[in-house]
């Protein structure tokens, strides 16, 4: 009986050795995958310092929209040695439009991110109506802020659904109202399926100006008290820029608005223009006042003439 098992054992060992030989070239891949999986799960298990789903925090009954940055210092967590803001002080009154201008890297977009609590200042305070925004419920804070950025994110669904992402309980009448405010109603009504038109991945079926007007409608459908416009027209051609700028001018009426733009033609009508340099505001005033000072704003304007 023992002799009968010898061939079975022999072939089992042979097959096992062959299998190990086949697997050995993949051992390094398994080791790399294990390391990658560790990093992925570390990110999944990481608890964010700002929890957008938290139910804690104050929800004010009435927001006027007075904004203030008081001695704000900031550096990004991954680059603690690079100081972005170095004592920023800025007040924006309710219903006022303030334009932030300056060279790339001076802290303009960072200021907008702090307003949304995507990050918190390392020092200083950002407040709304005198209340530190860190004491306000994060979800509530972001609901009262409308944001239009340089490259709007549109999803591969209908125009109506893309606008509805701005507020889940919105009605079709409210969508149409927001679309009219964004100067998008006419072009939508010319489309075969109107509001049910599929925009394609990242809005590939629409032009740059059309995408931007859909993004403006999405921001307006929640009727925000505060509007943040971060390079909203910089990627558009001259004709599209004029249409979108008209929509933005209409959108900011009655709202506290912070505008960031490299094309200075879009900021000259702001109530106040603030020039940033190396993380601090170095000058404030109207277009004519700052042109007379011949400072950073004057230099930026003359470079574009």
pLDDT of residue 237: 67
Q: In which residue ranges of the chain is pLDDT below 50?
A: none
pLDDT tens digits, 240-260: 777 777 777 777 788 898 888
Q: At what angle do helices 208-220 and 238-251 cross, to 10 degrees?
A: 10
Out of 3.40.50.300, 2.160.10.10, 3.30.1280.10, 3.40.50.970, select the CATH number for domain 67-304.
3.40.50.300
Contact 214, 175 (CB under 8 A): no
pLDDT of residue 73: 93
Q: Give the domain ranges of the chain.
A: 2-45, 67-304
Cα 65 to chain centroid, rounded = 20
The angle at the Cα of 141, spanning 166 to 202, to the nearest 5 degrees, equals: 30
For the chain, give the longest Cα–Cα distance: 107
Query: What global pTM score does this model have?
Result: 0.77
pLDDT of residue 20: 66
Residue with tokens 């959108």: 251
CA atoms in the 13 A half-sphere facing the CB of 180: 6
Is residue 210 exposed (0-12), middle (13-18) or buried (19+ Cβ within 10 Å)?
buried
Residue 187 phi, psi (nearest 5)? -70, -30
pLDDT of residue 17: 65
Q: DSSP 3-state assignment of 91?
A: strand
Contact 66, 128 (CB under 8 A): yes
pLDDT tens digits, 61-112: 888 889 999 999 999 888 888 888 888 899 989 888 898 888 877 888 888 8
pLDDT of residue 27: 67
pLDDT of residue 46: 77
């Amino acid at each position: 009986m023992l002799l009968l098992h010898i061939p079975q054992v022999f072939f089992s060992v042979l097959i096992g050795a062959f299998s190990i030989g086949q697997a050995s070239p993949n051992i390094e891949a398994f080791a790399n995958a294990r390391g990658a999986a560790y990093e992925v799960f570390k990110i999944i298990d990481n608890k964010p310092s700002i929890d957008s789903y938290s139910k804690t925090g104050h929800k004010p009954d009435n927001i006027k929209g007075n904004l203030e940055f008081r001695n704000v210092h900031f550096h990004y967590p991954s680059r603690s040695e690079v100081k972005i803001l170095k004592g920023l002080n800025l007040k924006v009154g309710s219903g006022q439009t303030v334009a932030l201008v300056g060279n790339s890297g001076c802290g303009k977009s960072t200021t907008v991110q702090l307003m949304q609590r995507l990050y918190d200042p390392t020092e200083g305070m950002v407040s709304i109506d005198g209340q530190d925004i860190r004491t306000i419920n994060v979800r509530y804070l972001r609901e009262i802020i409308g944001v239009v950025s340089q490259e709007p994110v549109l999803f591969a669904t209908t125009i109506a659904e893309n606008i509805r992402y701005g507020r889940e309980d919105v009605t079709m009448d409210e969508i149409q109202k927001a679309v009219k405010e964004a100067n998008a109603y006419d072009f939508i009504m010319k489309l075969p399926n109107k509001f049910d038109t599929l925009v394609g991945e990242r809005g590939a079926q629409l032009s740059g100006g059309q995408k931007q007007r859909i993004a403006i409608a999405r921001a307006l459908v929640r009727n925000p008290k505060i509007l943040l416009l971060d390079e909203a027209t910089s990627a558009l051609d001259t004709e599209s820029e004029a249409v979108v700028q008209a929509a933005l001018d209409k959108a900011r009426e009655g709202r506290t608005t912070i505008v960031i733009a490299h094309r200075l033609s879009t900021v000259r009508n702001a109530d106040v223009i603030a020039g940033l340099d190396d993380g601090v505001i170095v000058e404030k005033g109207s277009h004519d006042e700052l042109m007379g000072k011949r400072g950073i704003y004057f230099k930026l304007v003359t470079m574009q003439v």
